[in-house]
Structure 1
Amino acid sequence: MDDRPVILLVVGAHADVVEQEFRARYDRDYRIETAAGADAGLDRARALVADGAPIAMIAAEQLLADGTAIELLRSVPSVVATARRVALVPFEDFADAIDDLRAAALRRDMDTFILLPRGPRDEEFHTAMAELLSEWGWSVARPLVTVTDVVAEHRDRSAAAIGDLLERLGFPHRVLTPADPEAREIVEAAGSGAELPIVRTFTGRVLSAATAAAVTEAMYGGFDTIPEGVIADVAIVGAGPAGLAAAVYAASEGLATVVLERDAIGGQAGSSSMIRNYLGFPRGISGMRLAQRSRIQAGRFGARFFTGRPAIEVAPGPPHEVEHQHVHVAGAQLCARTVVIAAGVNYRRLDVPGVDDLVGAGVYYGAATSMARELQDRDVYVVGGGNSAGQAAVHLAKFAGAVTILVRRPSLAETMSDYLVREIEATPNIQVRTRTVVADGGGDGWLQWLRLENLDDGESTKTLADGLFCLLGADPDCSWLPDGVALDERGFVLTGRDVPREAWVDGQPPASLETTVPGIFAVGDVRAGSMKRVASASGEGASVLPLVHAHLARMRAREFGA
């Protein structure tokens, strides 16, 4: 039996060119099937689904004998929601079709449209195909080659957290039960008395009673390995888009750069299933891929990452090194000449006891994209009205039978980007319930039901629920910062001219991204007045470097008496 994922080509006048291009590049790893015309394409897709064949992509010529690619691809989700959908446009038809294609892409009738190759080695065409297939492989397919193994009982909460971490980091992994034959070697390597979950990382290290924090620290190096006496030029606390951008620019400009992250590198943005409005990625990019590429980029310039423990204090060094800051994490510390706070924010809790008791057992704070595959044909709820909530709902809708977005406001348009609102409206198995909150919930060890309350009339309804994803807006956690760092009334870090005048020095405010403590800067979502967007956070991470250089130059001048 051929168990390769299927690429279904729905062809018209250019059938030979289309089939030749796909077979030349993808025939080893994918089963290439063809169908002539829209009706035949849908019939073949239905037959493949009935046979249990995974369909990775449906690519259709724009002009077919019985319709267009737009009409066909619009109908595909009712047959297979997870397949990537591509319109293939001959060059000679492009000018006439471009307006319709753009409108269809905005409506999310397709994932993308692209010109057919006009000759050999059309790498732009194949780059687009490879990106779409890569995203399908990450978000839909089970990995064939894994680099990390997790051994745990079914529905183990710690194992679920580890799986979510690995998913956000882009590490292919598999979850085994102790009864699986493949698990025996791993359990034996853990030694007698080992406790589940057991994790074998890509380095070969085996962890007993593993946690997400222990796994990430094992993969990226523990804080205890920081050489004693080392002073970094810049310590970046937080590895979301702002921290990663700061790391890339700092390391590329020759600064000794250390990044501290308590969770998964990528921050909350790393859990976004697809970011479609980030500059330079016309077909969109998942948060995981963006974080993965940024991490690799910073690492190649020399930035060092330490993960798994939160920063708990920033304090000035002893009198003889007063210019330095000491960043403390549990059980370790790092000395740095400057500190960039890029710690982001935390999702607000529901504060509904019956629900919060089930966190990790059907209830998740954040997108938890790793759980989407486990919710096939289930009833899922998403709480929140921001872009993260919208992206999570659209991704979950590819798997779940029904997705309901719960939002306090009268409409999504007040807090969500227009492109996402349109995508949600165009997704038939997503329902939006406005002015509605979760009042209660529960289940026997796993979420089974929710009670929803309408804020206008107070009416409550009890409903079955298999998953609840909470993306409720966020609050900063700045309790670990020194008292000298000024915060606004909501706890966000004040910088530049937003700093109270009484904290200005000689009538001058701090630099634009500098806090009230010289040498400590703040960028991204943790900073008061930030835009709370991936692109703006990245921009601030890059923009802080001239300020860091200026502070380091002043330190050198004082040190040498200049």
Structure 2
Amino acid sequence: MARPSILTVDDDPSVSRAIARDLRRKYGEQYRVVRAESGAQALEALREIKLRGEDVAALLADYRMPRMSGIEFLEQAMDLFPAARRVLLTAYADTDAAIQAINVVDLDHYLLKPWDPPEEKFYPVLDDLLTSWSAADRGPVRQIRVVGHRWSARSYAVRDFLARNSVPYRWHALGEDPEGDRLLTAAGEDGTRLPVVVTEEGDALVEPSDGELAARVGLSTTPSTDFYDLIVVGGGPAGLGAAVYGGSEGLRTVLVERMATGGQAGTSSRIENYLGFPDGVSGEQLTERARRQAAKFAVEMLTTRQVVGLEPRGSARVVRFADGTELAAHTVILATGVSYRLLDAPGLPDLTGRGVFYGAATTEGPSCVGQDVYIVGGANSAGQAAMYFARHARRVVMLVRGDSLDRSMSRYLIDQIEAVDAIEVRTCVEVTGGDGTDHLETITIRDNRTGASEVVPASWLFVFIGAAPRTDWLDGTLSRDGRGFVLAGPDLVIGGRRPAGYPDRDPYHLETSVPGVFVAGDVRAESVKRVASAVGEGAMAVSLVHRYLEKL
């Protein structure tokens, strides 16, 4: 089999030769090094490699090239070799432009020229990229197909489950796509039971549960052993942060998630205030990178496993799943996050998933083209959704209960919204009802200043009205505040009295009322509801886990 290629392109011949020389010195035995001096020449080389049926492991492109910049080259090169790792080579003055390009071409890395010595500043970066490329599955894209009704709540739930778990699929709307009818006929179905998921092997799954779906698309649902150093419950930013740091520090770590990693942040179309991403990063991108990091450190990740119980048994901490099985560890980190509150208005609960959605539901964006979209809420998540749907919809109307966005939304996001003509912000209003047959058709909006109500046609309503913790299953086990958020650390010491189980010390900062059980992220009482703080708490919790384990 032919060696995979590493292609480098730089319009300065001397620099191009130097880069190729460094590459051949380190990687010449395993990879074929291809050198080009223009974007057009490099693309021609890639086409020849493609026609020969060979592969490309990495693309290194100079940022400043005449006629075709490095970013423009990488955009076109992605069409030929989408799995190749992408590196932008920049001079010191180009650093800002390189960072901005991270999200344009999903850049894997950028390197400053010159690098000297390459053993310290060049080879370690490329080693990591080539290792991840070698470990990746570069087989044909999976052709999982989903046949369902456009306004079927379960059809939406299946698509959302696959999308949030980064499982590629093709959607066939019944009655709108003839291929969907053909697939149903082949599966022996008449359309009364939907959705039907056709696996890449050709098996038809009729109305599959999340667990059945997960098992058939390659997601892990069963732990490899029955005891770990650390169980992380919840796969949002806090849980992923804890899993990455736990695995990187040598703890046998398993992450348990009931639906998909990423949590609410994973559904965000654009997070723009996260450190290191000046042009923003989608929740999906951030989640996928965190998943890859966790896998790199041998963290097990289980999906579709709902934890319904927690109890201490001697030095072990045991979690119980909904199916009655159990898993034990020395320590547990709770990072279950929060869920959006339901909009309690007549007519809306029955239309959930059929025009009424909680969260961004970005899978629905293409279906909103040329239509009006209504968004309920005035915090950052609602603003990010408005910016996303404005790229598809004719008009986006934000319905805000408060008198302005300033009290609940970051200033940068308010400025962006004000600059988009397609977004209309209505304040001091709320949705008091909805109606429709098989899907949402109208909503009732009340002006809280005048008391007047109006009924407007609407097929799309996305709700972001605050969050509630998922902690009912902890009732009687851990101390929580009046709203259900988990108390930890100093909040547990009242009048100098420690909680039961702490005879010799106070609880550590993120430790709950049960020693060895920690909490991180939005589910913690008085936490800062931001992605960066959640990741930080996940990492901090692992350091406290180590302190706890040292005293066992």
Q: TM-score, normalised by structure 2?
A: 0.73
The answer on whether the counterparts of 2:254 and 2:299 sit within 8 Å (CA) in structure 1 is: yes
Instruction: Work out which of the residue numbers 411, 417, 431 in structure 1 matches 2:410.
Output: 417
1:205 and 1:510, CA in 2 relative to 1: closer, same or farther beyond 3 A?
farther
Deviation readout 1:155-188 (Å, 9 max, x if unpaired): 3221211212222233332112567447756875
The answer on whether the counterparts of 1:186 and 1:200 sit within 8 Å (CA) in structure 2 is: no
- Give the counterpart letter for 1:395 in structure 2: Y
Aligned to 2:310: 314
Instruction: Work out which of the residue numbers 308, 315, 321 in structure 2 matches 1:323.
Output: 315
TM superposition shift of 1:299: 1.3
Please say if 1:304 is aligned against 2:300: yes
Q: Supply the distance in 2 between the matched residues of 1:394 and 1:364 (Cα, whole angstroms).
A: 17
Instruction: Work out which of the residue numbers 505, 521, 538 in structure 2 matches 1:524.
Output: 521
The answer on whether the counterparts of 1:274 and 1:284 sit within 8 Å (CA) in structure 2 is: yes
The answer on whether the counterparts of 1:232 and 1:337 sit within 8 Å (CA) in structure 2 is: yes
Q: Supply the distance in 2 between the matched residues of 1:244 and 1:529 (Cα, whole angstroms).
A: 20
Aligned to 2:106: 131
1:316 and 1:300, CA in 2 relative to 1: closer, same or farther beyond 3 A?
same
Q: Supply the distance in 2 between the matched residues of 1:233 and 1:358 (Cα, whole angstroms).
A: 43
The answer on whether the counterparts of 1:158 and 1:210 sit within 8 Å (CA) in structure 2 is: no
Where does 1:453-464 land on structure 2 (aligned, <5 Å)? Answer: 453-464=446-457
- Give the counterpart letter for 2:318 in structure 1: H
Unaligned runs of 5+ in 2: 1-63, 81-89, 109-139
Please say if 1:539 is aligned against 2:539: no
The answer on whether the counterparts of 1:164 and 1:371 sit within 8 Å (CA) in structure 2 is: no
TM superposition shift of 1:227: 4.6
The answer on whether the counterparts of 2:444 and 2:456 sit within 8 Å (CA) in structure 1 is: yes
- Give the counterpart letter for 1:234 in structure 2: L
Aligned to 2:349: 356
The answer on whether the counterparts of 1:220 and 1:305 sit within 8 Å (CA) in structure 2 is: no
The answer on whether the counterparts of 1:311 and 1:328 sit within 8 Å (CA) in structure 2 is: yes
The answer on whether the counterparts of 2:358 and 2:463 sit within 8 Å (CA) in structure 1 is: yes
Instruction: Work out which of the residue numbers 259, 269, 272 in structure 2 matches 1:273.
Output: 269
Q: Supply the distance in 2 between the matched residues of 1:455 and 1:287 (Cα, whole angstroms).
A: 34
Q: Percent identity?
A: 39
Aligned to 1:173: 169
Deviation readout 1:274-327 (Å, 9 max, x if unpaired): 00110011111000110111011101211111111321111233xxxx111221
Deviation readout 1:214-258 (Å, 9 max, x if unpaired): 4235445464x3356x20111111000000000001011111111
1:470 and 1:26, CA in 2 relative to 1: closer, same or farther beyond 3 A?
closer
Deviation readout 1:2-31 (Å, 9 max, x if unpaired): xxxxxxxxxxxxx99244757754456779
Aligned to 2:393: 400
Q: Supply the distance in 2 between the matched residues of 1:440 and 1:193 (Cα, whole angstroms).
A: 31
Q: Supply the distance in 1 between the matched residues of 2:192 and 2:169 (Cα, whole angstroms).
A: 20
Where does 1:19-418 land on structure 2 (aligned, <5 Å)? Answer: 19=68, 24-27=73-76, 115=97, 127=102, 129-131=104-106, 146-177=142-173, 180-181=178-179, 188=186, 195-201=193-199, 206-219=204-217, 221=219, 223=221, 225-227=222-224, 230-317=226-313, 322-331=314-323, 332-418=325-411
The answer on whether the counterparts of 1:147 and 1:171 sit within 8 Å (CA) in structure 2 is: no
Unaligned runs of 5+ in 1: 1-14, 32-89, 96-112, 116-122, 134-143, 556-562
Cα RMSD of the aligned pairs, angstroms, is 3.3
The answer on whether the counterparts of 2:173 and 2:180 sit within 8 Å (CA) in structure 1 is: no
Q: Supply the distance in 1 between the matched residues of 2:71 and 2:249 (Cα, whole angstroms).
A: 42
Q: Supply the distance in 2 between the matched residues of 1:131 and 1:266 (Cα, whole angstroms).
A: 18
- Give the counterpart letter for 2:213 in structure 1: V
TM superposition shift of 1:329: 1.3
SS of alignment partner, residue 462 of structure 1: strand
SS of alignment partner, residue 399 of structure 2: strand
Q: TM-score, normalised by structure 1?
A: 0.72
Q: Supply the distance in 1 between the matched residues of 2:371 and 2:189 (Cα, whole angstroms).
A: 39
TM superposition shift of 1:457: 2.1
SS of alignment partner, residue 512 of structure 1: coil
SS of alignment partner, residue 353 of structure 2: coil
1:459 and 1:183, CA in 2 relative to 1: closer, same or farther beyond 3 A?
closer
The answer on whether the counterparts of 1:238 and 1:343 sit within 8 Å (CA) in structure 2 is: yes
TM superposition shift of 1:196: 2.8
Q: Supply the distance in 2 between the matched residues of 1:205 and 1:314 (Cα, whole angstroms).
A: 37
